[in-house]
Amino acid sequence: MAACVSNLSLFILSLLIVYFVPVQSGGGFSAQLIHRDSPRSPFHNSSETHSQRLTNAFLRSINRLSYFNTSRLELQSDVFSDGNIGEYIMNISIGTPPVEILGIADTGSDLIWTQCKPCAHCYKQDAPLFDPKSSSTYEPLSCLSTECKALNATINGTFCPPKAGDSTCLYTYTYGSGFTKGDLATETVTLTSVSGEQIAFPKTIIGCGRNNSGGFDKREFGIIGLGGGVVSLVSQLGSSIDGKFSYCLVPISDVPYYSSKIYFGANAIVSGYGVVSTPLVKKNPDTFYLLTLLAISVDDVIIQFKGSSFGTTEGNIIIDSGTTVTMLPKYFYLELESAIASKIQAKRVHDPDKVFGLCYKFNSNFKVPKIVVRFAFASVKLDPLNTFIMITKHVGCFTFLPTDDGFAIYGNLNQMNFWIGYDTVKRTVSFKPTDCTMH
């Protein structure tokens, strides 16, 4: 019997360590995305075994589900992981003079926030708290501001009490594992290249956290929201990136040796032979990037998808770079597992950590069937590296898990070695099979 997700009370955020690098052609940027498990990451934990890293990451994918139930520039960036699969942090600077912060880069939330001084309740962090009084460009938003009134409907919290007048606009943002409360403000956000060049984006809306709690590490100073809502970094960069960003994630086996990449602007357009595109479906809230899953085929067997808790037709699955495994409603997962098990002749074994339900002993008999994820207008053929991952030296497990709650999330193991582009203006997501170690 496959392991099934039922306890969704916790949430661990996706993390991206991002260093922005200007692209000389067109005046844009690039940034490295270094996996947290890479020896080049400041979060690398050499004492953890491969199996421990995988298990911890998969459990965090399960816990993440609770949260989901709730002029043109070219930017490019390498992504650095912070030590566990599927988790990344992002390096930016805020304020004038710029103060560098490492924030959790979360494609599943919108608000950009950091811990601020003075703080009523802050979790312990390595660096000093950001001091708004030391920045010449920090401007708190008042309760009478149009930004505060507009954001009242987009962030999951109350901003101003009745008859608040011109007092500071307050926010509350709740995650599955915690929350942040504080002042809304505008501030200069600076993206710094590895060569030392800096590009400033003034009057960016941020949260100045005064009361923060949750599953944060002392090396993480807040969150950089990369979702689809109006206050995310992607949305606030707006016309400067023409609503476009993309990434190319290297396979897990290559994480110690290669960087992944994230791109913004015209540089992010996914084009060329083999590109397929599917509509990006907008729903409330507009934070999540929703696609329409029609079916998954296993060789000649086509398993129709009848929907999830996000809907039965359009926009029934979230694509999320911060969730490791793909999560599917239990009814659909069991059909998929059965179809795959009927095609594989190798010896089936138990996952030693009891996370996965479909595992095999890797030997010469192990051959993965052809698996195709069929989105609306886009069929994505997965390679074996996308669908089975080595848990131990001789045991590999299926990179999908069932959920009792009916959630559907397309995880990052299925996205590796694909160049994936988001166009929030044309409302499309594009996939191109790519060797991301060469991208």
Q: How far is CA 135 from CA 131, 156, 217, 365, in A?
A: 7, 28, 25, 63
Classify residue 170 by burial, with Cβ atoms within 10 Å: 0-12, 13-18, 19+: buried
Query: Considering 78, 106, 110, 217, which one is annotated as catalytic?
Result: 106
Please tell me which residue in 78, 110, 242, 320 is annotated as part of the active site.
320
User: Tokens 């994820």 sit at which residue?
Assistant: 373
The CA distance from 265 to 243, in Å, is: 7
Task: Check if 106 is active-site.
Answer: yes
Give yes or no for a contact between 50 and 59, defined as CB atoms under 8 angstroms apart: no
Q: How many CB atoms lie within 10 A of CB 277?
A: 18
Q: How many CB atoms lie within 10 A of CB 364?
A: 6
Residue type, position 67, single letter: Y
CA distance 89 to 100: 13
Rounded-to-integer distance, Cα 282 and Cα 277, Å: 16
CA 401 to chain centre: 18
Q: Is 37 a catalytic residue?
A: no
Which structure tokens are listed for 104? 């959790």
Q: Could you give the residue numbers annotated as active site?
A: 106, 320
